[in-house]
């Protein structure tokens, strides 16, 4: 197995090199997989643009990507059947620290995560044809699941974690601020739970996708009176990363309601209306990655209840990862950009 497989490597800001892949022996406890589909995340975009993310500089070239699914090529003694499509859980937790013992793998202090500067030495991510991944982090799926949908398992798990942290259940009024890919997935997940969802964004096109995916109403900032929202929502999912949107959330949530922060809030000088947290007894909760929600996300994908085609902005073959990241950087794509591995059709 040499020569004709490729991997992508981020060698400097805005530079992706394609290199032949020559995988060595399969590490113990891992299976050898062949990429079926992967998707681009905001984290990948930060590394691509700046060679850094959230203050973590990359120390050496790395393969990006932590959202993917793949076919089993060599089970390496495990009971995974060759050819099976598996969803890849990128959280490789230690299993023994206090967080792991509480089933909070997302907060494991010794976890490994692919395509990230937080693990040193950096662990290569999924934007490559051959992937060796821990068998325990491979979730086989039912036949017939579309790989371009299954690659949403990881980001959908993040969105479902935010819904769980916010306590979203059927019939609640839920506001999602920000209709980027994460906000859209939170909307789709909340709709699947039977919540009544309102979507808010600055961009009309993003709001249109939100209503296509099931939001009962879509609001474009600047085109309505914000006072209409005051106190109307049981839960707000903050997915924009913008402090004005967080202030909207504080106003829009009802008394004793909850706000779950799913976004990366960039530090900048802006005033947060903190007093409302006291006056309305608002619970503000953070949401970082996911735990049991990975399984929940895969099951949701298996049901076919969510229209992931509507949430897909574009599809590129793996060899065009750089073009795909440039398209994401341009900010015109609403929804996710998906990469396909060998043997899967591209385009669309």
Distances (CA, A) of 151 to 23, 217, 309: 23, 27, 12
Q: How far is the CB of 90 from Zn ion (least distance, A)?
A: 8
User: Is 94 an interacting residue with respect to Zn ion (CB under 5 A)?
Assistant: yes
In the bound complex, what is the minimum distance in angstroms from residue 70's beta carbon to Zn ion? 16
| Residue from the set 8, 21, 53, 93 that interacts with Zn ion by CB under 5 A | 93
In order of 44, 47, 52, 331, the CA distances from 14 in angstroms are 11, 9, 11, 15
Total of residues contacting Zn ion (CB under 5 A): 6
Per-residue contact string for residues 13-52; x = within reach of Zn ion by CB under 5 A = ----------------------------x-----------
Provide the minimum distance between the beta carbon of 24 and Zn ion in the complex, in angstroms, as a whole number.
27
* Closest separation in Å from C-beta 336 to Zn ion: 10
- Dist. CA 265–CA 210, nearest whole Å: 21
User: What residues does 127 pair with on adjacent strands?
Assistant: none
Taking the complex as a whole, the smallest distance from the CB of residue 15 to Zn ion amounts, in Å, to 21
Query: Residue written as tokens 């992937």?
Result: 131
Instruction: Tell the smallest beta-carbon distance from residue 147 to Zn ion (Å).
Output: 17
The site string for Zn ion over 101-140 (x = CB under 5 A, - otherwise) reads -------x--------------------------------
The correct pick among 100, 163, 199, 297 for binding Zn ion (CB under 5 A) is 100
Cβ proximity to Zn ion: between 44 and 234 the closer is: 44
Closer by beta carbon to Zn ion, 31 or else 38: 38
Nearer to Zn ion, 39 or 172 (CB): 39
Is residue 105 a contact partner of residue 99, using CB atoms and an 8 Å limit? yes
- The pairing of strands 130-134 and 283-286 is unpaired
Binders of Zn ion among residues 149 to 168 (CB under 5 A) are none
Q: Buried (b) or exposed (e) across 121-160, using 16+ Cβ within 10 A?
A: ebbbbbbbbbbbbbbebbbebeeebbbbbbbbbbbbbbbb
Residue 183: name the closest of 167, 169, 200 by CA.
200
Can residue 54 be called a binding residue for Zn ion (CB under 5 A)? no
Report strand pairing: 138-140 vs 130-134: unpaired
**Shortest Cβ 223–Zn ion spacing (Å):** 30
Beta bridge partners of 259: 236, 284
d(Cα 137, Cα 139) in Å, to the nearest integer?
Answer: 6
- Beta partners for 312? 336
97 near Zn ion, judged by CB under 5 A: yes
CB 194 within 8 A of CB 224: no
Q: Which two tokens stand for residue 72?
A: 């089993």
For Zn ion, the closer of residues 116 and 221 by Cβ is 116
Alpha-carbon distance of 64 to 338, in angstroms, equals 13
The verdict on 261 binding Zn ion (CB under 5 A) reads no
Whose CA is closest to 132, among 34, 65, 1? 34
Q: Which is nearer to Zn ion, 159 or 206 (CB)?
A: 159
Residue 32 or 128 with smaller CB distance to Zn ion: 128
Nearer to Zn ion, 90 or 166 (CB): 90
What DSSP state is assigned to residue 121?
Answer: S
Could you tell me the smallest distance in angstroms from the CB atom of residue 160 to Zn ion? Answer: 13
Question: Which parts of this chain interact with Zn ion (CB under 5 A)?
Answer: 41, 93-94, 97, 100, 108
């Amino acid at each position: 197995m040499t020569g004709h497989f490729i991997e992508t490597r981020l060698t400097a800001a805005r530079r992706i090199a394609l290199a032949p892949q020559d995988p060595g022996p399969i590490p113990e406890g891992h299976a050898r997989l062949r990429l079926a589909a992967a998707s681009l995340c905001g984290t990948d975009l930060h590394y691509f643009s700046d060679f850094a993310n959230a203050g973590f500089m990359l120390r050496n070239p790395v393969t990006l990507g932590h959202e993917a699914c793949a076919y089993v090529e060599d089970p390496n003694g495990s009971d995974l059947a060759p050819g099976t499509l598996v969803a890849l859980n990128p959280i490789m937790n230690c299993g023994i620290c206090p967080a792991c013992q509480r089933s909070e793998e997302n907060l494991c202090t010794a976890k490994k995560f692919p395509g990230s500067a937080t693990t040193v030495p950096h662990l290569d991510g999924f934007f490559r044809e051959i992937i060796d991944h821990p068998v325990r982090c491979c979730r086989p799926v039912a036949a017939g699941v579309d790989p371009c949908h299954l690659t949403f398992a990881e980001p959908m798990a993040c969105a479902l974690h935010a819904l769980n942290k916010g306590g979203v259940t059927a019939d609640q009024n839920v506001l999602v601020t920000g209709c980027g890919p994460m906000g859209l997935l939170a909307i789709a997940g909340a709709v699947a739970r039977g919540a009544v969802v309102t979507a808010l964004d600055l961009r009309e096109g993003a709001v249109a996708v939100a209503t296509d995916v099931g939001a009962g109403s879509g609001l474009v900032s600047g085109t309505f009176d914000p006072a209409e929202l005051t106190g109307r929502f049981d839960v707000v999912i903050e997915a924009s990363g913008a402090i004005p949107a967080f202030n909207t959330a504080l106003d829009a949530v009802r008394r004793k309601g909850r706000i779950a922060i799913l976004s990366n809030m960039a530090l900048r000088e802006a005033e947060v209306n903190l007093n409302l947290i006291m006056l309305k007894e608002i619970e503000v909760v953070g949401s970082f990655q996911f735990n049991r929600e990975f399984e929940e996300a895969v099951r949701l994908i298996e049901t076919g209840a969510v229209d992931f085609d509507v949430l897909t902005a574009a599809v590129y073959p793996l060899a065009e990862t750089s073009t795909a990241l440039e398209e994401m950087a341009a900010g015109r794509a609403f929804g996710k950009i998906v990469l396909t591995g060998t043997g899967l059709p591209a385009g669309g």
